[in-house]
Structure 1
Amino acid sequence: MHVQQRLSLLTASLALGAAALTGCSQQTATPDAEQSGSNRPTSSAPAAPAGGTDDSSPSAEDESGSADAGATQQGPVRFGQTVTYPDKISIKVDPPKEFKPTEYAVTDPEPGVKHVMFVVTVVNKSEKPLDLSLMMLTVQSGNTEATEIFDPENKLEGAPSTKVQPGRESTFRVGFSVSDPNDIVMDVNPQDNFERADVTFTSK
């Protein structure tokens, strides 16, 4: 799906969602053990980006983990942890890795910014297909809003368009230009039914 089409869909859906939320309470995700879908490959490590990565940045193995299942989320969770909504939709965002965008990437031209990518895994153990095409992911770094990177050669094309069927999972990449790769906050929301509260992942 092209960026302009995705933005148009988001605008229309957010307007509908704002009306639907009037008088309704939202589901809150809580920390959980890592989940997996029936379609997860035996080896699920993503291929190396086209532009290369900085191996000095944190890896999923360095910071990954899960909080006690059933605990109540009192605030942000760390990158690498898994959170699950009451309807059994789970989200995990791996720690960021610095990378070099390719020649035709759409990114922030400001001097001094760093480019990082995240691997996002969504597991659907609910009873309905999950539409990720409207999924919202926003990032703040330091005290500034980060700019999303679109770089097809590095598989940075936003959330996938194919619905996640019950019992399955979807893994994809997102990239952002940030002012401080050591200070990142990401808000995530599937936005498929506007009944779920945001989940916040952080590097600190």
Structure 2
Amino acid sequence: MSPYTQPLSVPRPRGLRTLATGLSLVASLTACSIASPVSPDVTPVAQTTTTETTSDDNTLIGTYQEGYDLGYEHGSTTGARAGAGFLSERTEEYREGYDAGYTTGKDEAEAATKNPVTSFGTPMEWEDGLTLTVTNDGYFTPSEWAAVGDFPTYLSFTFTVTNGTSTTWTSSGYTQVTSAGSAGDEVYDSDQGYGGAPTAPVLPGQSITWKQGFGVADPADLTMNVSLDWDHVDVVYTTLEDAWTF
């Protein structure tokens, strides 16, 4: 038989064998990496702990009420408003409170230095508890020996002071009357008990009452200024309703 009639035996290429071996190795490595993943090489970062420090100056941030209280104190006590730099360090709410408190305190402080004007018979009470009431009791006729000027009308007034303070009170003031553009004149009439304001001390919780008479030009146009002492603002009583402040 001719050797050319035998089937050919072709050897497997060496390149394919190498490729198959490589693919097998890659598959093996992949399987291993899935089963046991390798942790990444990460360098840990040092952690730092921050602690908030609280400022000792708690007024840098305040509430509306705190601002109101401080503003009121400035308005009523010093009468001097804090500068813009002072307020800019506060919160908006604090500043609003400060402004409101300042306005209220300032208004009350200014009102306290003005003479309150009221009607006869209306009690006037000061912050320390002292109370004054003056009533217009109407006409009277001075006695023959009374010390008084020549007026068409004489009016009698009753004064009552109640000492609601914690100290003894003594009158040291004066009373002035104007009527229809002219000054009135006080009546001194011992026979009827008109002798000016008493100077006797009044203990806390006690009251004192006295009467004074004045000659006036027109009882319908009457204004009386009462000064009890140097420690309390004067009170103005008047028949002119438009002038009343309380």
TM > 0.5 between the two?
yes
* Other-structure match for 1:202: 238
Contact between 2:125 and 2:131, CA under 8 Å: does it hold in 1? Answer: yes
Corresponding letter in the other structure for 1:94: T
Question: 1:153-172 deviations in whole A, cap 9, x for unaligned?
Answer: 11100011211111000000
Does residue 136 of the first structure (1) align with residue 177 of the second (2)?
no
Please point out which of 127, 133, 144 is paired with 1:103: 144
The Cα of 1:113 is off from its aligned counterpart by: 2.3
* Other-structure match for 1:81: 122
Please point out which of 206, 220, 230 is paired with 1:182: 220
Please point out which of 207, 211, 215 is paired with 1:169: 207
From the superposition, tell whether residues 152 and 87 of structure 1 become closer, same or farther in structure 2 (CA, over 3 Å). same
Contact between 1:116 and 1:176, CA under 8 Å: does it hold in 2? Answer: yes
TM-score (norm 2): 0.50
The Cα of 1:135 is off from its aligned counterpart by: 2.4
Please point out which of 152, 158, 162 is paired with 1:113: 152
The Cα of 1:195 is off from its aligned counterpart by: 2.6
Q: How far apart, CA to CA, are the structure 2 residues paired with 1:90 and 1:198? A: 12
Please point out which of 95, 118, 122 is paired with 2:161: 122
Question: 1:5-55 deviations in whole A, cap 9, x for unaligned?
Answer: xxxxxxxxxxxxxxxxxxxx9xxxxxxxxxxxxxxxxxxxxxxxxxxxxxx
Instruction: Looking at secondary structure, tell me which structure has more helix per residue.
Output: 2
The Cα of 1:75 is off from its aligned counterpart by: 4.5
Corresponding letter in the other structure for 1:175: G
The Cα of 1:74 is off from its aligned counterpart by: 8.1
Q: Which has the larger radius of gyration?
A: 2
Q: State how 1:13-32 maps to structure 2 within 5 Å.
A: none
* Other-structure match for 2:183: 145
Runs of 4+ in 1 over 2 A off after TM superposition: 72-75
Task: Tell me the percent identity.
Answer: 26
Corresponding letter in the other structure for 1:172: W
Q: How far apart, CA to CA, are the structure 1 residues paired with 2:115 and 2:167? A: 28
Whose relative contact order is higher, 1 or 2, with alpha carbons under 8 Å and at least 6 apart?
1
From the superposition, tell whether residues 74 and 178 of structure 1 become closer, same or farther in structure 2 (CA, over 3 Å). closer
Supply the RMSD in Å over aligned alpha carbons.
2.1
**Residue 94 of structure 1: SS of its match in structure 2?**
strand
Q: How far apart, CA to CA, are the structure 2 residues paired with 1:188 and 1:170? A: 15
Q: 5+ residue gaps in structure 1?
A: 1-24, 26-71
Contact between 2:226 and 2:234, CA under 8 Å: does it hold in 1? Answer: yes
Question: 1:46-89 deviations in whole A, cap 9, x for unaligned?
Answer: xxxxxxxxxxxxxxxxxxxxxxxxxx888410000000111111
Q: How far apart, CA to CA, are the structure 1 residues paired with 2:179 and 2:238? A: 10
User: What is the aligned length?
Assistant: 130
**Residue 153 of structure 1: SS of its match in structure 2?**
helix
Contact between 1:136 and 1:189, CA under 8 Å: does it hold in 2? Answer: yes
Question: 1:139-194 deviations in whole A, cap 9, x for unaligned?
Answer: 11110011111001111000112111110000000111100011111111111xx2
TM-score (norm 1): 0.60
Instruction: Looking at secondary structure, tell me which structure has more strand per residue.
Output: 1
Q: How far apart, CA to CA, are the structure 1 residues paired with 2:170 and 2:192? A: 23
